[in-house]
Copies of this chain bind each other. A is one copy, B any other.
Amino acid sequence: MLDLRKQQILQAVVEDYISTAEPVGSRTLARKYRLGLSPATIRNEMADLEDAGYLDQPHTSAGRVPSDKGYRYYVDCLLELQPPSPQERQRIEENLSYRREGTYVVQAAARLVAEFAPYAVLAVMPGLNRSRLRHLQLLPLDDHHLLLVMAADPGVIDTRMLELSTPLDRKERRRLVSLLNRDLAGLTLSDLDATIRQELRDELGPALYEQIMDQLHDVLSGSEPGKVLVEGLVNLLRQPEFQDVQKLTSLLEVLGRQDEWLIDLLRRRVRPGEIGVSIGRENEEEAIQSCALVTAGYEVRGEVVGMLAVVGPTRMEYGRVLGLMREVAEELSRVLDEL
């Protein structure tokens, strides 16, 4: 635990560095922040903070820069969460409330965050497997193709083309459709997968059953995770830490990866109802060890159905971002809950 004065100095260093992106020296600190201390004293304290690992020194005669540990302490103990401005809050409400489909709401949320904070934003769409099913309907397109339309709880619509090797006549289609549409509301798709299978097999012939089930299985088993959306990439280009194309490349490679990888990345960081922060080397994934992630899950009926994340340099405006994310995630959950 740091004493009060060290805390004040650490806080000043972090906040100054966050706003200027320049190493901060004792003189600047004494001038800008009313600490009532001379530069010399501050120097001593900063030396202590450096020894304790909260600050780094890029080179002997430069100012100090917060280390990952320094940011961590700041976020955990010093940070005051900064709620969005009234204007921002209003924009958030306006933009989220009127949309009728879950995916668009989530997309709008990601855009908003990317607009209000100068970093990149990841959004994981609600996955069908996690959601509660409301409707499952088959539409015959032609005699070899059925279109499976799924409507799940937070206003998520997805469709899937099913291909049949043997044609189905009209009557069989009807039977299949009514079979599937019976008694399904309120089950998760994974439940469906387990409970309805046997019943289906009995009612359909085994051949037809196999064909359809093979393809349904892909969808229902949850191997189809929510899609991932990236917004505000350009924001990163304005950050001085990404002026170096090298770093930018490695980050962009990460953000361009497979959806599964990104979802997994986020899922490990998201806990229901709280905002997660992981800073620099705290991240196991090497490619993002010079970044900070702020993650939030959004929920429908108390269940996390998707995630939002802000990706930026460790020198991130944590106060603003945390406040923003809390607001947006809550509003998002609220709006989706009503769909």
Contact = CB atoms under 8 A, between A and B. Distances in A.
Contact of A149 (B139, B163, B242, B253): B139
B139 A137 contact: yes
Interface string A256-287: 10000000000000000000000000000000
A117 to B, nearest CB: 16
Contacts of A101: 161
Given A134-B141, A141-B134, A252-B233, A159 B149 contact: yes
B245 A233 contact: no
Nearest to A145: B100
Interface in A228-271: 233-234, 237-238, 242-243, 245, 248-249, 252-253, 256
B256 A245 contact: no
A89 interface: no
Given A234-B252, A252-B233, A149 B151 contact: no
A100 B249 contact: no
Interface in A123-150: 134-135, 137, 139, 141, 145, 147, 149
Contact of A139 (B151, B161, B234, B238): B151
A100 B161 contact: yes
B157 A159 contact: yes
A237 B249 contact: yes
A173 B12 CA distance: 64
A47 B234 CA distance: 41
Contact of A151 (B137, B147, B253): B147
A243 B147 CA distance: 46
Nearest to A246: B237
B147 A147 contact: no
A245 B249 CA distance: 11
Interface of A: 100-101, 134-135, 137, 139, 141, 145, 147, 149, 151, 155, 157, 159, 161, 163, 233-234, 237-238, 242-243, 245, 248-249, 252-253, 256
7 contacts: A134-B141, A135-B139, A139-B149, A141-B151, A149-B159, A155-B161, A234-B249
Given A141-B151, A155-B161, A237-B252, 14 more contacts: A100-B145, A100-B161, A100-B163, A101-B161, A135-B139, A135-B147, A137-B139, A139-B149, A147-B149, A149-B149, A149-B159, A237-B245, A237-B249, A243-B245
